[in-house]
Chains A and B, each alone.
Chain A
Amino acid sequence: MNITSAQYIAPEGVNDSIKATIDGTEMSVPLDPANRHYAEILRQVAAGTLTIADAD
């Protein structure tokens, strides 16, 4: 799973999900540890290979 960018989405001021580019496609990833994409984001963040940017 190649994740090239990640940024929180917070339209109401609270982080609701993550906008991520995964394998070249932009996706909205929920903050659910059972979601495989979110689990991989957390793994890469822990490994220091990915940073989640703050919401706009």
Chain B
Amino acid sequence: MSKAAELAALIGSQTALSNRNMISNGAKVIDQRNAGASVSGDGQFPVDRWKASKVGAGAFSMQQSSTAPSNFNHSVVCTVTTADTSIAASDEYSYRHFVEGFNFSHAKWGTSSAYPVTLSFWVRSSVTGTYAVGFRNNAGNRTNPSTYTISSANTWEYKTITVAGDTTGTWEGASNSTGVGVIFSLGAGSNFQGTANTWNASGTWSTASATQWISNSGATFYITGIQLELGETATPFEHRSFGDELARCQRYYQASDGTGNLLFFSGHVDSGATYFAQTKLTVVMRAAPTVTVGTELGKDGFAGAPSVSWQATQSIRSSNTANANSNQGYYFFRYEADAEL
């Protein structure tokens, strides 16, 4: 077999040489929010583009980690801080990622031409057993749970899962909504348990046979190298440049830093008048972002903190009302912009 044929066989017939991985930050290298610090709680992001879901009395922390398999530098580690040994039907614990429709629509899910996809990842846990990872549509009424086995405690293992494309149901297609959700279950009540390797018309991304990792106090779960690609073949992880991965993540979250990209106003101000300042965002965001006004770094002529009064995918605008006359009025502050799925 020629080298070209070997390469074609390696990457499969339905995928591409580059931009194969539909997952962002699968190698856990970008952490704009926390700079490596630990977080916990429902909806928190331990690294960019990956967040926790927690419904129930249990709790787990999450953090970017330097513990990683060869060929990787980072992972995310989840640690049980409060075990849930009595998981109710509506309880659910997971680590999840949503792929934007624009980046998944070529899989053609929801049509008779739906392609299979293959998920691959490195995982390591202190708790061995069967685990579940599910795929879901935007509405959460089409789900397909798959299972994988962690055989040896505290040992990196490479897993691959191929899922048949869903030929029915409603999938978002080429839009800025969720194209597909990938949900690694860490514990799930019966409401979230469905039939494995089958498209269920329900929100069931785990199975009855899956390990309830959240029931084990102090348990750890590391994961990295997550790749989702078209076709039935798992190819080697597609490492991107740091700048490329950062820009991809900034489509969903970005923050001004301490020295630049601040929202800034300067000029003559009259007491009682309202003034505006606008800044261009680092990259075009998925949707108009929610903006949190961060540290106020300085002001003159203004008594209160500015508010962000308008935002779009490419820029945001602040406003503030002066409380004094000044020829050198100004205000500037840090901000965070969030357009996550």
Contact = CB atoms under 8 A, between A and B. Distances in A.
A35 B289 contact: yes
Interface string B7-32: 00000000000000000000000000
Given A9-B307, A35-B339, A36-B341, A29 B290 contact: yes
Contacts of B307: 9, 11, 19, 28
A37 B340 CA distance: 9
Contact of B340 (A9, A22, A30, A36): A36
B287 A34 contact: yes
B289 A30 contact: yes
- Which among A10, A22, A31, A35 has the greatest number of chain B C-beta atoms within 10 A? A35
Contacts of B338: 37
Contact of A35 (B290, B292, B310, B319): B290
Q: Interface of chain B, helix or strand or loop or mixed?
A: strand
Interface string B273-311: 010100000000011111111000000000000011111
Interface string A12-52: 00001101001101111111101111100000000000000
A28 B291 contact: yes
Contact of B311 (A1, A23, A30, A34): A30
Contacts of A37: 290, 338
A56 to B, nearest CB: 11
B43 A17 contact: no
Nearest to A34: B287
B130 interface: no
Contacts of B292: 25-28
A22 B43 CA distance: 12
- Indicate the size class of the contact surface on chain B: 20 to 34
A55 to B, nearest CB: 10
A30 B43 contact: no
B275 to A, nearest CB: 10
B326 interface: no
A35 B291 CA distance: 11
A1 B290 contact: no
A17 B176 contact: no
A19 B306 CA distance: 12
B177 interface: yes
A17 B308 contact: yes
- Which among A17, A27, A28, A36 has the greatest number of chain B C-beta atoms within 10 A? A28
A26 B293 CA distance: 8
A51 to B, nearest CB: 19
A16 B307 CA distance: 12
A9 B309 contact: yes
Interface in B304-338: 307-312, 319, 338
Contacts of B309: 9-11, 16-17, 28
Given A11-B319, A17-B308, A34-B177, A28 B43 contact: no
B63 to A, nearest CB: 19
A23 B290 CA distance: 13
Nearest to B310: A16
Given A9-B307, A11-B309, A17-B308, A30 B176 contact: no
B274 A28 contact: no
B288 A30 contact: yes
Contacts of B289: 30, 35
Given A23-B43, A35-B287, A37-B290, A28 B311 contact: yes
18 contacts: A9-B307, A10-B309, A11-B309, A19-B307, A23-B43, A25-B292, A26-B292, A26-B293, A28-B290, A28-B291, A28-B293, A30-B311, A34-B176, A34-B177, A35-B287, A36-B290, A37-B290, A38-B290
